Structure 1
Amino acid sequence: MRQLVRTAPAALPAVLRTPLAMSAALATAVLVALGILHFRDSGLTGIDAVLLPSIDGVRPPWRYVALVFDFGGEPVGSVILIALLSGVCWLLRQVRTAVLTVAGVVVTVAVTTVLKPVVGRTIHGEFLSYPSGHTAMATALALVIGLLLTERMGLGRTAGVALALGLALVAGVAMGWAEVALGAHYPTDALGGFCAALAAVPGTAWMLDRVADRL
């Protein structure tokens, strides 16, 4: 098992290390800035005041679409998605990526869970909302898929970055829209969740590779 982990392809492809480190630093800055901006503040201001009225309270059939996305971020749905992606990675002998699928989501969700009571932003007067854990989870899984495909397809830096960040953006926007549409989060909560995943997953992948190389 140790040999299998050591010889497995990197969880963080070499061509993506520098650009994803830069995007992680930027995402961390945005995550912190939004947290400071909305510290103990549940008012509807700025971009939230512009976007929320046009998204919140979506009606069928789009409400059903939002509920499907939302289920993917719930405990049962997320476990199913994580298990499927991790299983595919094992079948492809991408052992490190299989581990990253679990570790990356765990670290990302841990970040959002810790930040919620620290920031103290609420929605509907009682539910902690910043940052969105559902959006963070979806973005993290999509980013892992991007890393996997970059490695499997042997993509260069430009194509790899475009693929990884493109998938993360699509997943983040889709889940973020669903959470706002269902009244569970403000738009900036979703942005914070997106940034949490971009900040956590590359660092987790890098650390995983470091540990695996030393086994």
Structure 2
Amino acid sequence: MTGRPEAALLPPSLRAWLGLIAALATLTVVALGVLYAGHGTPGTVDARISAAVYGVPPAWHRTALATDFLGEPAGAATLVVATVTGCLLLRRPRAAVLVVVGPGLTVGTTTLLKYVVGRTINGGHLSYPSGHTAFLAAFALVLALLASGRLGLGRTAGTSLVCAAALVGGGAMGWAQVALGAHYPTDVLGGWCTALAVIPATAWLVDRAADRMATWAADRLADAGRREHH
């Protein structure tokens, strides 16, 4: 071990902006959930976007299937295990915890919301919000937070990186879900916003827990040292 404290997952410079984004994302998830609760058909905007995206050429269809695989249990587990291994090799246990807990809580939240909202697609499959989109957006967010901390980015650059990563990850998976007919576009938006709401809060909680554990361990060592001197 290097003896240096591990950098915060959610640096103070990013907390205000990401907190605001998380709050707006939460409101969006709730608003869309209320709007489409119990529905089994697309809205007007859903229908227009789906008509433009669904039925892509074979090459793009294969790309959509490959992207979709990243949100399946096997694909998601591969991404998480590989990233956790890298974090542990770099001696960043706090980051490894976020890689597991962050996307896990995000997907768990979408699963719970699906039963609460009750929106369906393709003959009764619960659809809102999209868990696949939420996972890849959450995973991209976590990677961006880790990179931002590692590079020591300031508020503007760090927030821009995090938002861009979420947009790319969520956008890619969202496109795949709509192109494959697995979700309505508003399901995708709900999944993306779920990740934006859950990941900053999870990173803050992991930081709090890790800091408390570090303080407790330091106090125990100090107590042991005092007892030895006496």
Scaled by the length of structure 2, what TM-score is found?
0.89
- 2:77 maps to 1:115: no
Query: Is 1:151 matched up with 2:149?
Result: yes
2:125, 2:42 → 1: CA distance?
Answer: 15
The 8 Å contact of residues 41 and 120 in structure 2, kept in 1 or not, is answered as no
CA shift for structure 1 position 66: 0.3
1:138 paired residue among 115, 136, 139: 136
Query: 2:126, 2:57 → 1: CA distance?
Result: 24
Question: Number of matched residues?
Answer: 213
Output one character per residue of 1:37-96: Cα deviation in whole Å (capped at 9) or x when no partner.
100012222320220111112231000000110000000000000111112222222221
Query: How far does residue 97 in structure 1 lie from its aligned partner after superposition?
Result: 1.2
2:124 and 2:40 map into 1 onto residues whose CA distance is 10
Work out whether 1:162 is the aligned partner of 2:157: no
Name the counterpart of 2:195: 197
| Cα distance in 1, alignment partners of residues 163 and 84 from structure 2 | 20
Letter in 2 for 1:18: A
Per-residue CA deviations over 1:139-173 (Å, capped at 9, x if unaligned) read 00000011011011111100000001101101100
Cα deviation digits, residues 112-141 of structure 1 (max 9, x gap): 000001100000121100000000000000
Asked which structure has the greater CA Rg, the reply is 2
- Tell me the CA shift for residue 15 of structure 1: 1.4
Secondary structure of residue in 1 paired with 2:70: helix
Match of 1:178 in 2: 176
Amino acid in structure 2 at the alignment position of 1:41: H
Distance 2:188 2:180 in 1: 12
Q: What's 1:85 paired with?
A: 83
Is structure 2 residue 135 aligned with structure 1 residue 124? no
Structure 1, unmatched stretches of 5+, are: none
Residue identity in the other structure for 2:180: L
Equivalent residue letter for 1:101: V
Gaps of 5+ in 2: 214-230
Q: Measure the CA separation in 1 of the matches of 2:130 and 2:115.
A: 12
Partners of 1:17 and 1:72 lie apart in 2 by 29
Partner of 1:51: 49
Mapped contact 2:119–2:128 kept (Cα < 8 A): yes
* 2:130–2:191 CA contact under 8 A, matched in 1: yes
Q: CA RMSD in A?
A: 1.5
Corresponding residue of 1:8:
6
Q: Contact 2:55/2:179 (CA < 8 Å) preserved in 1?
A: yes
Q: Indicate the SS of the match to 1:7.
A: coil
Which AA in structure 2 matches 1:80?
A: T
Runs of 4+ in 1 over 3 A off after TM superposition: none
Q: Distance in 1 between matches of 2:192 and 2:76?
A: 16
Q: Which residue of 1 aligns with 2:99?
A: 101
* 2:24 is aligned with 1:31: no
Amino acid at match of 1:24: A
CA distance in 1, matches of 2:86, 2:14: 21
Name 1:42's counterpart in structure 2.
Answer: 40
